[in-house]
Structure 1
């Protein structure tokens, strides 16, 4: 009887634990209107490349409980969750090289494919691309991917840290797209584009980097009408770089054909450029430099972009091709003015949180596009994307429609205890590096953010901002910004180019005094103001109720009128959308 009783108690405890796990595990965004075709359109793949989308149903296990979940989606559970799913690559993936691409996993993950360890993924919200060894994925057979996601965060050393009072909820899971990218064995492995605009804006010097890889050591099958043949390892490879205006089939630059010193030397038939040929055994790193005269610039009113196409040709066969869009812009700060392409820019914008009712932070492409178009229609020219890197597609939409982005890393409310031993700053450096290398080519990015609401009187904070500012400037020449809630008390703000002054008081007179005093400390600094009040959306009580919509409207109008009097570089309304918080006041 005692044994039966113990077994019964054990079964009861397991049942209780399972019920508790189910109650704590709430899933968001698993029916968020995911559209695979929109992903494919965004990736703009050539016929030489293929995508195997891993969205859809996965099996997850947590606390000895197993269930099904759709990916992408997210949850408010903190702890380890093991994702598993199977997939079978079709014949179109034969003789291709695979990479695993994820747009966002929160927050740490260990990835295995067919039982073999692939990589660790640390730091939430970042896009990652992982090169897979040949033979790991079996074409035409069942393969299994397993991702152990740890969504636990703390207030000390996780990236991001646990949010404080009234800050947005930090959702866990595989919350953005994840897929396999298959490229030819002889491929353009990586590319880079860097440019320098002259001070008079009359020319732009480009440096294009290409990393070519031969995963098959030079052997490539070629299909012909007479059958299949093998191209020899010593065959020449020709790499072609071409830049086009948006709708013009004729390139504004190409290395495909030989260039001549003057028009009289140009033959009637174009000659192929002999300098674009190499013998590729395993890999090659190449660099091409050219100058574009009278470039067309990107700005919010005219979001113009060039298209750059990279091609790899072997024995007259197009082996691989990829492309990117590049918008040219030059952002600088001169005294208290922000300049875009040497023209003064006054910011009119909104804060934006990646959160949506019943979807959490797994926003569909359709929702993102709808939000961007509405913000643009409001007359805004900038979006302050709060607390972490945006979805790559959100950046693409801002590039396309013309909205600047204030781009912020997950750095909020740092205290001396967090930064005292410098270990956390060292952990953040790779995060900043990956973040900037991923997204620096997006012309919509106006400035890189170093966080907000930090301790206002700390030598450690000053040292941290100095380190991060130097790192950012070594990677990109855009300005840096930081959000201040203490105003003139924040002595560390000398380390950044743009100060974002956050007006927190609901009282207009108090906000005016706070802004005026703070601005007196920075008479020759570029300052923008973020302003707004926290209200209840359905509260129609009138102007005297500080949580009503009418009070909010009057406050926003009053501050907006003050911005020109304060002579600041612009204003940001807090905020475009509502969000769910981890911690509230208790009501």
Structure 2
């Protein structure tokens, strides 16, 4: 980075910090903040150069999340969008001074539901910290300088490496060089670890004018190259020089490695040996410092990952940091990195704004990292809709953009294996297997043998309760995570899979509260790691290492777990049902009204119209019983789904406020609270239906008291009381056969349709008006109210689009 011809101006260190509420303080860059909002940071700096006008200046930012606007000495430099891709920008002449320079960076980490990458409120995605969380610096370069070097190597039939370096050269002020002596040349050399030049191109002559950019190409051959591999990460030093005669004007250096990767009929070979992924997903987050990390932090992680027997990592949902890439180059660990296109429905995926953002981030990632030997493949997204034309167009566009910059493998990851229409457009496809039944994996691998697919498992693992050591029969125990690793790798080794990536190396915080949260003190924490957020090892790390290194696996404790079936559901159902039977048997008038309301509704509603009033006590008591039945049924269903990531996706989309989401998640995990909340919602629903009918009555000549209207509503919902019977044991039924999810929903839907019909019938009899008018107003009102709510949710949060996406995931 810095040499005799280039000078580094390090901008890390103490900065002034001002947040959106005008609170001021000091921060040490790199830094990050957890809240969502805008901040401004600034500092003074000196160039340390005696003649600052003799240099060009380029500012480099390795990571600022999400939007950044940079000014130096009051002059605009660059505005950048995309929090995980490195970017750079030239600084115009005349801005920089020898000392007392002021740099100001305005940062905004707010995300949007459709116009940012990643999207806002994305479930199962790492936390959206803001800040300058990676290095920021300025490089002073000569007036003629090397802007970029794009190096490609190919092994020929003689096992020599043919190397091509496409060099981009820029100049701002050519007049400082004498006209007759402007014989500029550019040359590329490869230097081995001992400092010996092993291969060199010819010095290619070029001409360039002021304020222009050109390209020059260096080609040469390296005889008998030493290959880079995870087992033996041999690095050459690439040196590119620009000279004027014998005088070197600029010099660029970087690490460079050579290996041969071939994919044929679903088999990968690296340096002529079959290569299977022994991978792990890596999230660059650290206890106490968020996404800020020192070089030593990252180096420790890479050494730990290597000790597990891993040969590759996948940086989960974002590009890798420069620290991670540099260390993996040196220690021998391949990297798959991806842009943060994560859980995106087709309606967003097909918009030009989103496509352009994705293409920009992909271009920035590839241009910054493509010369590094550890970079194995570039990912274009995770769990976006791959079932239709929008997904196909997106993949084609991203692949086309990537192919124009580099020849590495392109992949994406998805939960949808069976309906995937984009698979043939990329080199590799990852299947996300989030805590699913391994029998599904067996079915996939059996089908793959017939198709010879190019498939790997991009995500397998479990979220566990770190304090649970009750044996692997308990799905939330530490032992269950170990057993899952053993069973998965057994299937993988006997299949055509290219391997997989365990989720994850360490625990991590998600951007939205989790529906499944074993850590009761932090609902954002995803406890899926074999190490904690503070890098404390868990027992499954030992199992993973033994599997990767083909060592004997110790016996695991099975335990005596039985599926959770809270008695709250049964007790609530039985007590409420007994109360209903008691009232029906003991209170004659209540029994008669139940009979008439169910089997002779015309007479019942006519009696209500004729002021044969039902006691308010009966109305309220029946409303409570019906509400408990409805609440109990849906509480069973939601409790059954409480560990579902698909439900978590929908809740995260619908509930945009984190505090409300935390409360909702707590209710889903607590049967008593869940029953109480859904019962209260059902009771209020009955009241609001009555209020709506009362408002309708104001348009009519015939006036009816609110108590009569409330009676019609409550007793019209009598069929829903059957949900009380169903809901008492529904959870146990679902645990024995999940097909009853659909059966139960259809049953509930039919009961509510019958009840709506009964309420509308009671309404027209109560008001003695034309029945078509009531049905028309009622149906139209339902359509307008429900349709208006759904339209609002879909236009602001894309609820329908996410629902369709989630439905495609169910077809895995």
Q: Structure 1-normalised TM-score?
A: 0.82
8 A contact 2:188–2:239 mirrored in 1: yes
Residue in 2 that maps onto 1:418: 348
Q: 1:407 aligns with which of 333, 337, 342?
A: 337
Is the aligned partner of 1:519 residue 2:470? no
Residue in 1 that maps onto 2:59: 100
Q: 1:580 aligns with which of 509, 512, 516?
A: 509
8 A contact 2:452–2:496 mirrored in 1: no
Is the aligned partner of 1:241 residue 2:207? no
8 A contact 2:446–2:495 mirrored in 1: no
Report the Cα distance in structure 2 between the residues aligned to 1:121 and 1:397, rounded to whole angstroms: 27
Residue in 2 that maps onto 1:8: none
Report the Cα distance in structure 1 between the residues aligned to 2:248 and 2:387, rounded to whole angstroms: 60
Alpha carbons of structure 1 residues 352 and 333: separation in structure 2 relative to 1, 3 Å: same
Stretch deviating more after TM superposition (107-116 or 454-463): 454-463
8 A contact 2:59–2:139 mirrored in 1: yes
Report the Cα distance in structure 1 between the residues aligned to 2:168 and 2:398, rounded to whole angstroms: 28
Is the aligned partner of 1:556 residue 2:485? yes
Is the aligned partner of 1:195 residue 2:153? yes
Deviation track 1:205-245 (CA, whole Å, cap 9, x = no partner) reads 222233444434342xxxxxxxxxxx635334553524234
Alpha carbons of structure 1 residues 216 and 423: separation in structure 2 relative to 1, 3 Å: closer
Is the aligned partner of 1:343 residue 2:273? yes
Give the CA deviation at 1:315. 5.7
Give the CA deviation at 1:117. 1.0
CA-based RMSD: 2.4
Give the CA deviation at 1:90. 2.1
Residue in 1 that maps onto 2:81: 122
Give the CA deviation at 1:68. 1.9
Residue in 1 that maps onto 2:198: 252
Residue in 2 that maps onto 1:18: none
Report the Cα distance in structure 1 between the residues aligned to 2:297 and 2:230, rounded to whole angstroms: 21
Report the Cα distance in structure 2 between the residues aligned to 1:502 and 1:93, rounded to whole angstroms: 56
Q: 1:305 aligns with which of 207, 226, 235?
A: 235
Q: 1:541 aligns with which of 463, 470, 486?
A: 470
Residue in 2 that maps onto 1:178: 136
SS at match of 1:400: helix
Runs of 5+ unmatched residues, structure 2? 516-664, 667-812
8 A contact 1:487–1:518 mirrored in 2: no
8 A contact 2:188–2:218 mirrored in 1: no
Report the Cα distance in structure 2 between the residues aligned to 1:420 and 1:209, rounded to whole angstroms: 34
Give the CA deviation at 1:456. 4.8
Give the CA deviation at 1:144. 0.9
Deviation track 1:457-490 (CA, whole Å, cap 9, x = no partner) reads 3221122112212222232222222212132233
8 A contact 2:206–2:216 mirrored in 1: no
Deviation track 1:301-355 (CA, whole Å, cap 9, x = no partner) reads 2222222212233464433222122212233321121222343201101000111
Residue in 2 that maps onto 1:40: none
SS at match of 1:546: coil
Q: 1:429 aligns with which of 330, 355, 359?
A: 359
The size of the alignment, in residue pairs, is: 512
Alpha carbons of structure 1 residues 501 and 279: separation in structure 2 relative to 1, 3 Å: closer
Give the CA deviation at 1:142. 0.8
SS at match of 1:74: coil
Report the Cα distance in structure 1 between the residues aligned to 2:277 and 2:382, rounded to whole angstroms: 19
Is the aligned partner of 1:142 residue 2:100? yes
Matches within 5 A, 1:271-286: 276=204, 281-282=209-210, 285-286=215-216
Give the CA deviation at 1:246. 2.2
Deviation track 1:276-321 (CA, whole Å, cap 9, x = no partner) reads 5556653554222222333332221222222221223346443322
Alpha carbons of structure 1 residues 187 and 234: separation in structure 2 relative to 1, 3 Å: farther
Alpha carbons of structure 1 residues 121 and 295: separation in structure 2 relative to 1, 3 Å: same
Is the aligned partner of 1:566 residue 2:495? yes
Report the Cα distance in structure 1 between the residues aligned to 2:507 and 2:343, rounded to whole angstroms: 20
Is the aligned partner of 1:50 residue 2:7? yes
Alpha carbons of structure 1 residues 559 and 56: separation in structure 2 relative to 1, 3 Å: same
Give the CA deviation at 1:58. 1.4
8 A contact 1:239–1:310 mirrored in 2: no
Residue in 2 that maps onto 1:21: none
Residue in 2 that maps onto 1:458: 388
Alpha carbons of structure 1 residues 91 and 336: separation in structure 2 relative to 1, 3 Å: closer
Deviation track 1:393-444 (CA, whole Å, cap 9, x = no partner) reads 2111111111111111111111022124343113321221221111111111
SS at match of 1:566: coil
Higher relative contact order at CA 8 Å, sep ≥6: structure 1 or structure 2?
1
8 A contact 2:277–2:498 mirrored in 1: yes
Q: 1:352 aligns with which of 282, 290, 305?
A: 282
Is the aligned partner of 1:169 residue 2:115? no
Deviation track 1:89-142 (CA, whole Å, cap 9, x = no partner) reads 224564322111110111111111111111111111111121111221111x31
SS at match of 1:373: helix
| Bigger-Rg structure (1/2) | 2
Report the Cα distance in structure 2 between the residues aligned to 1:46 and 1:504, rounded to whole angstroms: 48
Report the Cα distance in structure 1 between the residues aligned to 2:408 and 2:49, rounded to whole angstroms: 45
Report the Cα distance in structure 1 between the residues aligned to 2:59 and 2:280, rounded to whole angstroms: 34
Give the number of the structure whose residues are more often helix, by fraction.
Answer: 2
8 A contact 2:116–2:357 mirrored in 1: no
8 A contact 2:350–2:394 mirrored in 1: no
Give the CA deviation at 1:495. 2.2
8 A contact 1:233–1:281 mirrored in 2: no
Is the aligned partner of 1:69 residue 2:15? no
Residue in 1 that maps onto 2:676: none
Residue in 1 that maps onto 2:291: 361
